[in-house]
Every structure is written in structure tokens, then in C-alpha cells.
Amino acid sequence: MIEKPINVLYIDDEPHNLTAFKAAFRRDYNIYLAESAQEARQVLDLNDVHIILSDQRMPVETGIEFFSSILKTHPEPIRILMTGYTDVNAVIDAINLGQVYKYLTKPWNENDIRIFIDRAFEVFSLRRENAILTSKLLDANKKLEFLVRQSLLS
């Protein structure tokens, strides 16, 4: 069996959209579903999610509000906002407040979604690799500083 390395969370308050999304992409990605922002937080707390797609217009909390609220607790996942409405202010808020990678309109095209998920995962992977390399570099610098101090003291 082929490993599906990309973990995708899709948030939408409409159950038929969740069902359609999972049916369309379950063979390509590990799909997690949530009907609300609160449910999505639980999924994020329990799983290593790489890409989050959220509907903008949901009761209680919009997609932008959700993205903005998770920036400190879950900064790594790449965020994609989906909406059936074209609203320039929502696009601006998505970029500024929720640090959204992509803004898509519904109804979505399966091929476009695959392309955007794959590209977003490339960004996610590069960011994660960069963080690991930075950590290793900082550790190597500390060790080097220690050796230099030991050499100066001898």
C-alpha cells in the first residue's frame, strides 16, 4: 500500500460538502473533517495536520477568525480559505489576519484543489525542513562557542 504523506483538514458546516470532499480526495491524501472551528481545534490537537482548508462562512466563527485564532497554537499548517462568495474585504482579512496561503471560490474544481494542496505541502515541507536545519545550526554554533571558550581558557 502506498503511504499518503499529506494530512489535510477540511472544515465546513455543510455535511454534504464534507462528504464530497472526502470522496474526491481520500485516495490522494489523509483527510480529516470538521463541521466547526471547535471540532477542527480538536483534530489539530490530536493530529499532525499539514494543510487546512476552511469554508469562510460558518456559524459561530468564520474561517478567517478560526485561522487567526490558531496562529499561536498551530502555526505550521498551511491555510487555504474557501468560499462561495466573492468578498474583497474577506480576501484582505484572510491574508492579513489569518495568514492564508490561498483563497479559493466554491464550487471547487478537483484538479485545482489537488494542485493547491500539493503546492501548499511543498511550502509546508520547506518550512519544516528549514526549522530543523536552523535548529541544528544553532546547536552546532553553541557547541562551537563552547569549544572556542575551552580553547581560550587552556
Q: DSSP readout, 83-122? A: ESS--HHHHHHHHHTS--SEEEESSPPHHHHHHHHHHHHH
Provide the residue range defining the domain that includes 90. Answer: 7-153
Is 86 contained in some domain? yes
119 occurs within a structural domain: yes
Q: Is residue 1 part of a domain?
A: no
142 within domain boundaries: yes
Query: Is residue 2, in this structure, part of any structural domain at all?
Result: no
Which of 16, 20, 80, 72 has its CA nearest to residue 53? 80
Per-residue pLDDT band for 1 (boundaries 50, 70, 90) equals very low
In a domain, 15, yes or no: yes
Handedness of CA 28, 34, 37, 43 (dihedral sign): negative
CATH number at residue 108: 3.40.50.2300
Contacts of 67 (CB under 8 A, 6+ apart): 52, 54, 79, 81, 94, 97, 98, 99, 100
Give the percent of the chain with pLDDT over 70. Answer: 88
Domain count within the chain: 1
pLDDT in tens, 51-100: 999 998 898 999 989 999 999 999 999 999 988 776 666 666 666 565 78
- Helix axis angle, 63-70 to 37-46, nearest 10°: 30
According to the model, what pLDDT value does residue 134 have?
93
Q: Does the predicted model carry a pTM greater than 0.75?
A: yes
Q: What is the pLDDT of residues 85-98, one digit of tens each?
A: 766 666 666 665 65
